[in-house]
Structure formats: structure tokens, C-alpha cells
């Protein structure tokens, strides 16, 4: 018994510190900040030695924790199913990837997110307690980013004058700020007065950083989440009048009707709205890129070109693409197109099943699941930025962690009921 207790304590400590270290490198990156924007194809690199060392070490430490928790880990895999199957399919796709070594390295970092998240979730219960790990990193990143913007010239994009702080780009800062706002808002609702004041202070700084980043995708995502949260709150109120579900359906139908009406009857309204946010109806040239990537995807529609096998600098198809897109994109700016292009209809179908089953199980949980907000945010952002199943992108990492968190909580609920039945 003593040995088992020691193993549990060791596993919990390693898993928690590995997760904190992992988050540190996800937020701060493994390269120096304030880099100038890449403007030449030859400047792009696919090798990062620090990445390889850091994430290999974290992967091995997490695997050790999962070995100590191997029974629980097997149950977790059986419960969630589709993410595991999707990653296995990605691994199989390496067989027909033109760049299997690059694809493997990039897939390995996604699998590292899977193992590190699984290890901490199986050692920390309930999963909501893990939010303290995020707060530790945010206490560093948010103030330091704000200070860097005030005093470091490179923390502001010289072209757009948008803030990027310690992040790789303004869009990355926008995503980090969005995640920070959700976490601090949740933290602000409980704890001591001092804790609430500190959370409110961090939330305000995060909101300022989000607005300063001028990331239209992250700002619009926050607006959607606020509106959706208000609708859910109203839905709860209407449930007392036995019309909660009807109210939610009514809001969804009305929103779709208004959107469709504006699109067909008043397209100029859409154009004006985009201009107000400094954009155009092509999403700054993204629709042209989407068309080109979909054309690439049709060449291998069923199985894809191999996970992360397209955006490789040695890919002749990518070099051809860069002749038309001189701003040198390194993603389709639509994650669902990238999933289709790289893993085919098989991979995209598995992803859809993953999302559908997640929300189905979230409803069955019968209690509030804090992490669902990050899933929704990641799905929205992925429409404009490829973040899902990409190495070291925060909202993509959050998607994997929060997806697994639901199934870890379901597993814990079953164990609690079994213990209660035995004691009762």
C-alpha cells in the first residue's frame, strides 16, 4: 500500500510539473521573441533542435506517468475513441506522405500534447483544478507581454502597428489573450476578495492585449462566446417556465435566418461590416487561398497527402503556390481545409465524429464543464487560422486538453459512483 501511495505521489508530481513546463514553452515558445516577419522562402526552417529536445523529454516523462496509471489510461482511450483513432490515421498517413520525416516530427509534437494532457488529467481530479497551472504561466506571460509592448520596439508589428508582445505574431497574442480572459473570468467568480481583485486586474490587461493585437478572429470569437453565454443564461431562466429548450432553438433559428437574409438581400451590409474592422469580403485574400488549397485537396480527396505533408518548404506544390501568394502563408488559414488536404475525407470524418461525440457527452455530464468554452473557441478560430493539430499552437493544444478533460471527468464520475455504492 505504501509503495502504491509513493507511486501515485511521484506520478502526480511529475505529471503536474511536466504540464507546467509544457505550457511554459507553448506560451513563450522555444525561440527568441521579437523576430522580424519572414519575407523570403529561404528563411523558412523546418528544424528546431530546442523543440526536439524539450518535447521529447516531456513526452518521455508523461509516458512514465501514464505507465504508472496504465489501467486508467486504457479506460480513457476506450471512452474517447475518436481522437486516438484520428491520431492513428495521421500516423498511417505518413506512409504516403512525400515528407514522412517532417510529418512524423510534427505529429510527434501533437502526440506530446496528447500524452502530457492525459498524464496530468489522470493525476489531477477534478480537471478544473488544473486551471491553476494555466494561471501560473499567465501571471508571467501577460504582464511581461504588456511591459514589452511599452518598452520594446520589436513587440509591435512594424507593418500593421498591431501588438504581438512576446508571442510569435499578433494572431498568436490574440489567441493567448482570449484564453487568458476566459480563465481569469472563471477564476474571478470565486475565492477571496484579494483573489477576485487580482483576477479582475489580469482580465483587464488580457482584454487590453486582445484589443491591441487587432486580431479580428480572436476578438470576434470573444464576442460570440459572450453572446452565447448570455443566451445559455437566458435559457436557464426560461427553463423555469418550461420553455428553455424552445428559447435556445428560437435564438439559433432566428440567427441563421438573419444571417441568410443579409447574405442574399443585403450583401453590401456584409461589405460595410468587414470594412469597419479593416477587412474585406475576401478575408484579406484568404478566400483565394482556400480555393487553391481545395484544388490541392481534390487530388487526394479520400486519404489526403499525409499529415502535415503539404506545408513543407521542399514541396514543389508549395513553391508553385507561393508564386501566387507572395505573402508566404504557412497554413490554409482554415484548419478544416488543412485537415481535408492532409488527412482526406477519412480524417475529416473522424474529426467530425470527435466533435459530435464530445458535445453529446458534455450534455450527459449533467454538470457545468468549464473547459467546453475553449473547445468552442478553438472550433471558431480554426475557421480563419489553422490551429487544430498544429505543433505548439495554444488553442490547438487547448482543444486536445479540453477534449480529454471531459472524458477524464466522466471516468472520475463513474469511479465516484462506484465508491459511493460500496460505502452506501
Q: Mapping DSSP to helix (H, G, I), strand (E, B) and coil, where does residue 163 land?
A: strand
For residue 223, CA distances in Å to 136, 234, 261, 369 come to 26, 17, 21, 20
Supply the pLDDT for residue 11: 83
In this predicted structure, the answer to whether residue 1 has a pLDDT above a threshold of 60 is: no
Cross-strand partners of 156: 163
Place of cell 480524417: 347
At 58, the pLDDT band (50, 70, 90 cuts) reads: very high
Q: Is the peptide bond before 35 cis (omega within 30 degrees of 0)?
A: no
At 388, the pLDDT band (50, 70, 90 cuts) reads: very high
For residue 332, CA distances in Å to 55, 197, 386 come to 25, 41, 7
Q: Which residue has the higher pLDDT, 105 or 34?
A: 105
- From first CA to last CA, the distance across the chain in angstroms is 24
* Angle, in degrees to the nearest 10, between helices 170-188 and 193-213: 160
At 2, the pLDDT band (50, 70, 90 cuts) reads: very low
Q: Are 400 and 107 in contact (CB under 8 A)?
A: no
Residue-wise pLDDT for 393-411, tens only, equals 899 999 999 999 998 888 7
Average pLDDT over residues 330-354: 92
Q: Cα separation of 35 and 52, whole Å?
A: 20
Place of cell 503556390: 321
CA Rg, the chain, in Å? 22
User: What sign for the dihedral angle of Cα 126, 22, 174, 347?
Assistant: negative
pTM: 0.88
Candidates 379, 424, 371, 363; CA nearest to 401 is 371
Number of H helices, E strands in the chain: 16, 0
Q: Are 213 and 162 in contact (CB under 8 A)?
A: yes
All structural domains of the chain with their residue ranges: 1-123+285-424, 131-240, 243-283
257, three cell numbers = 435566418
CB 253: neighbour CB atoms within 10 A? Answer: 10
Residue-wise pLDDT for 128-187, tens only, equals 888 899 999 999 999 999 999 998 888 888 778 888 888 888 889 999 999 999 999 999
Query: Which of 4-18, 197-211, 271-285 has the highest mean predicted lDDT (pLDDT)?
Result: 197-211
Amino acid at each position: 500500500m505504501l509503495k502504491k501511495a509513493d507511486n501515485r505521489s511521484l506520478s502526480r508530481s511529475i505529471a503536474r510539473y511536466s504540464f507546467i513546463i509544457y505550457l511554459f514553452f507553448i506560451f513563450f515558445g522555444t525561440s527568441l521573441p521579437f523576430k522580424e516577419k519572414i519575407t523570403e522562402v529561404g528563411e523558412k526552417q523546418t528544424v528546431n533542435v530546442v523543440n526536439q529536445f524539450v518535447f521529447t523529454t516531456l513526452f518521455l516523462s508523461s509516458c512514465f506517468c501514464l505507465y504508472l496509471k496504465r489501467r486508467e489510461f486504457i479506460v480513457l482511450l476506450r471512452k474517447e475513441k475518436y481522437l486516438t483513432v484520428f491520431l492513428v490515421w495521421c500516423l498511417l498517413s505518413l506512409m504516403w506522405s512525400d515528407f514522412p520525416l517532417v510529418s512524423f516530427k510534427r505529429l510527434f509534437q501533437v502526440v506530446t500534447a496528447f500524452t502530457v494532457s492525459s498524464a496530468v488529467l489522470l493525476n489531477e481530479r477534478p480537471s478544473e483544478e488544473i486551471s491553476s497551472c494555466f494561471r501560473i504561466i499567465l501571471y508571467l506571460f501577460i504582464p511581461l507581454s504588456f511591459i514589452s509592448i511599452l518598452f520594446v520596439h520589436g513587440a509591435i508589428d512594424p507593418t500593421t502597428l498591431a501588438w504581438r508582445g512576446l508571442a510569435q505574431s499578433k494572431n498568436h497574442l490574440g489567441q493567448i489573450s482570449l484564453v487568458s480572459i476566459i480563465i481569469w473570468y472563471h477564476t474571478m467568480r470565486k475565492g477571496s476578495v484579494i483573489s477576485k481583485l487580482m483576477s479582475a486586474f489580469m482580465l483587464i490587461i488580457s482584454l487590453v492585449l486582445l484589443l491591441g493585437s487587432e486580431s479580428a478572429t480572436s476578438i470576434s470569437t470573444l464576442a460570440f462566446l459572450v453572446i452565447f453565454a448570455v443566451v445559455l443564461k437566458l435559457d436557464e431562466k426560461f427553463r423555469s417556465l418550461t420553455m428553455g429548450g424552445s428559447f435556445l432553438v428560437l435564438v439559433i433559428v432566428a440567427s441563421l435566418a438573419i444571417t441568410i437574409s443579409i447574405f442574399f438581400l443585403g450583401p453590401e451590409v456584409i461589405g460595410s461590416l468587414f470594412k469597419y474592422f479593416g477587412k474585406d469580403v475576401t478575408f484579406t485574400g484568404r478566400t483565394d487561398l482556400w480555393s487553391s488549397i481545395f484544388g490541392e485537396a481534390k487530388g487526394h480527396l479520400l486519404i489526403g497527402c499525409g499529415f502535415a505533408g503539404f506545408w513543407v518548404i521542399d514541396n514543389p506544390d508549395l513553391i508553385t503556390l507561393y508564386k501566387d501568394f507572395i505573402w508566404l502563408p504557412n497554413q490554409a488559414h482554415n484548419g478544416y481545409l488543412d485537415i481535408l488536404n492532409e488527412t482526406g475525407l477519412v480524417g475529416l470524418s473522424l474529426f467530425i465524429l470527435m466533435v459530435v461525440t464530445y458535445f453529446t457527452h458534455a450534455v450527459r455530464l449533467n454538470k457545468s464543464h468549464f473547459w467546453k468554452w475553449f473547445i468552442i473557441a478553438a472550433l471558431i478560430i480554426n475557421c480563419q487560422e489553422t490551429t487544430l493539430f498544429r505543433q505548439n499552437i495554444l488553442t490547438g493544444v487547448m482543444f486536445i486538453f479540453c477534449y480529454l478533460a471531459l472524458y477524464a471527468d466522466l471516468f472520475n464520475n463513474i469511479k465516484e459512483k462506484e465508491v459511493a455504492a460500496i460505502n452506501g
